Amino acid sequence: MEPLRVTMFVFICVLTSLVAQSLGLLIGAGMNIEAGVFLGPVTTIPTILFSGFFVNFDTIPGYLQWVTYVSYVRYGFEGAMVSIYGMDRATMECHEIYCHFRFPKKFLEEMSMDKAEYWIDAVALLGTFIALRIIAYFVLRWKLHLIR
């Protein structure tokens, strides 16, 4: 338990939650209930699919790799993985004869995250959070203007 790693992990989780909440606020502000109930899950599926959790970044076809940079879940997942296994983490303790993931760097390589930077992920999430909140504010303001 390293306090810096725990802090970084909690920070990236909070940022991911705030971005998800902001996306929900935007959908709720911009649509009626029926459309919002449909659009929420529909936008979540590609976001999770291209996050690197189910499909490794290297296995995504080249013409679809740009979608991974739009997925906020990718930045949250990548930031969490780097906070746990990155930054030259020491070799993990293992009592077996062979441990494939004894070296944390090997784990990041298997997940195609060996070149990932934590602060890039955090800044991407923070920027997405701010952008979604601003867009949601203006959408809500526009909708209130239409009502008046």
Report residues of the chain scoring pLDDT below 50: none
Write the CA distances from 80 to 11, 27, 46, 66, 109, integer angstroms.
Answer: 9, 26, 20, 21, 15
Return the pLDDT at 93. 84
Q: Are 82 and 121 in contact (CB under 8 A)?
A: yes
pTM of the model: 0.86
Return the pLDDT at 136. 95
The token pair that represents 26 in the structure block: 């935007």
**Amino acid sitting at position 144:** L
The token pair that represents 76 in the structure block: 């949250």
pLDDT digits (tens, 9 = 90+) for 72-104: 998 999 999 999 888 888 888 888 888 877 788
Return the pLDDT at 135. 96
